[in-house]
Amino acid sequence: MNREYALYLKRQKRARIGIQIARIGVLIAFFGLWELGAVFGWFDPFILSSPSRVWATIARLYASHELWMHIGTTLFETVLGFLLGTALGAALAVVLWWLPAVNRVLDPYLVVLNALPKIALGPVLIVWIGAGMESIVVMGVLVSLVVTTVTVLNGFLTTTDEKQLLMKTLGATKLQIFWKVVLPAGLKDLIAALKISVGMSWVGVIVGEYLVSKAGLGYLIVYGGQVFKLDLVMASVVILCVLAALMYEAVALLEKGLTRKKA
Amino acid sequence: MHTPILSLSEVSFSYFTETEQTPAVSHLNLSILPGEFAAIVGPSGCGKTSVLSLIMGLLRPQAGTITFADPNLRIGYMLQRDHLLEWRTVEKNVLLGLEVQHRKTERTRANALRLLDAYGLGAFKAYYPQQLSGGMRQKVALIRTLALEPDLLLLDEPFSALDYQTRLQLSDEVYRIIREQKKTAILVTHDISEAVSMADRVLVFSKRPSHVKTVIETGFSAALSPLERRHVPEFLPLYDRVWKEIDR
């Protein structure tokens, strides 16, 4: 290794560390200003709350054994909605790829369903399924399902006719074409769909909880808003941020595992 | 004389779209002898590729018959682009056809790897396609076809995506490989010198809807490589004859 290269590596490393520090700095500045604003009365902490009040609220929830129950409820609904939504969505994409005629028939409906805000169906779901956790999970499923189908199907359709022709010249069946070419080629989009879907499931579940729940973070937010306990609202939002980030990271880890071998 | 391993008799085929029908080949007659290297040339868009698709069975003739001397004749098809799968190593790409046909045994696998070794790609077995040059990729594609141990090779403009240098070099190599493996081959190309230098017989197609207009025997010694043939005195007159036969 010559001197210039060593210097280059050092510069790169320094830039990386700089970015990390700046990131943490933004977080500290955000919470710092928030707290200071509350302490010095720049705004009314009753309306905007403050980090120390958020922290106290979380501690209180923990002490009364409510914290894990609410987190657990929402997390369970979200993970279930996410898994069902992506599994069903991906399966639907496979069916539509397999049967081009069905795809052509359903295409306009898929476009409409994709554009439709699924949460508009909330009241309908409650009437059909009942005011319980089932409705919330179904909402999480609905919100992630269509977007998964559309993204994954697009990924499958990127496989060119020429590549399929090659497989046919080798004597491949349709199943083999799917398994050996279309699926591996669509893997990138499958992972992209998972990442979108993670966020979508949170949206569906939180909105679902707004409408019907008796527990969960969405319930805490609505309840806090109604009785003007903004500390409770903010505390729930902060917890949601952490959970959503963790779940996204989990998917990113899965991506690494799936794509590592071809790097 | 030998009996042909493949004959097309009065074969016709048209492409249909919603706005028109395009006759690609019409009353086409041709026979291919075992072990020969035939080249098909013709004006662009004259349905040369359609003929290969018909022989391969990817298209069905709308009239006429295609007869094989041996109904179990194995056909290998090499496309213009290599279409190597980017997520598979060279070795795995070469074995793709065998996998698909459930013929991956110790023997066929060893044979495929031997081909890689024999044609200078043994060291690149574990590489991914994007790490190879265009010429090497095309050679991998050829070995993928040869790994299936075909009796008849269909080559659809296999060199046209390559730069000139690589093209000459690779056509030399492919010729040598096909001769050594004693395969019968049909090469479709728009490059007259390529056709004349590689083939025993050049079939000149008419413009669409095409049939065989003229057959020209090149009569080179099999010992000469395509590159060497380009330098013998008979080459230019042959080139001119083919040139004149092609409709414009």
Tens of pLDDT, residue by residue over B82-120, are 999 999 999 999 999 999 999 999 999 999 999 898 888
Residues B148-161: tens digit of each pLDDT: 999 999 999 988 87
Q: What is the pLDDT of residue B48?
A: 86
Q: What is the pLDDT of residue B12?
A: 92
10-residue averages of pLDDT along chain A (263 residues): 88 94 96 93 89 94 93 94 95 95 95 90 89 91 93 90 90 93 91 90 92 90 92 94 92 85 49
From chain B, pick out residues whose CB is under 8 angstroms from the CB of A262.
86-87, 128
Q: Which of A165, A176, A181 sits opposite B85 (nearest CB)?
A: A181
Q: How many C-beta atoms lie closer than 10 Å to residue B126's C-beta?
A: 10
ipTM (interface predicted TM):
0.83
Q: What is the pLDDT of residue A159?
A: 82
Q: What is the pLDDT of residue B135?
A: 86
What are the residue ranges of helices labelled H in B119-188? 134-146, 164-180
Q: What is the pLDDT of residue B248?
A: 66
Q: Is A190 on the interface with B (CB under 8 A)?
A: no
Residue that wins the pLDDT comparison between B18 and A21: A21
Under an 8 A CB cutoff, do A162 and B56 touch? no
User: Mutate which of B56, B58, B59, B77 to test chain A, going by most A C-beta atoms within 10 A?
Assistant: B77
From chain A, pick out residues whose CB is under 8 angstroms from the CB of B81.
162
Q: Is A260 on the interface with B (CB under 8 A)?
A: no
Q: Which of A162, A171, A184 sits opposite B83 (nearest CB)?
A: A162
Query: How far does the CA of residue B45 sit from the closest CA of chain A (Å)?
Result: 18
Q: What is the pLDDT of residue B91?
A: 95
User: Mutate which of A169, A177, A190, A260 to test chain B, going by most B C-beta atoms within 10 A?
Assistant: A169
Distance (Å) of CA B134 to CA A4, B27, B81, B170, B174 = 33, 37, 10, 10, 14
Q: What is the pLDDT of residue A141?
A: 94
Q: What is the pLDDT of residue B1?
A: 55
Residues B161-209: tens digit of each pLDDT: 788 888 888 889 889 888 888 889 999 998 999 999 999 999 999 888 8
The closest alpha carbon to B202, from B169, B176, B175, B238, belongs to B238
* Residue B77, pLDDT above cutoff 70: yes
Q: What is the pLDDT of residue A18?
A: 95
Q: What is the pLDDT of residue A160?
A: 80
The closest alpha carbon to B139, from B194, B184, B193, B178, belongs to B178
What are the residue ranges of helices labelled H in chain A? 3-39, 45-48, 51-63, 67-98, 100-115, 122-129, 133-157, 161-169, 174-177, 183-212, 217-226, 230-259
Query: How far does the CA of residue B219 sit from the closest CA of chain A (Å)?
Result: 32
Question: Which positions in chain B have a beta carbon within 8 angstroms of at least one beta carbon in chain A?
Answer: 56, 58, 76-77, 79, 81, 83, 85-87, 96-97, 99-101, 128, 144, 148
Query: How far does the CA of residue A246 sit from the closest CA of chain B (Å)?
Result: 29
The average confidence (pLDDT) of chain B is 90
The amino acid occupying position B238 is: L
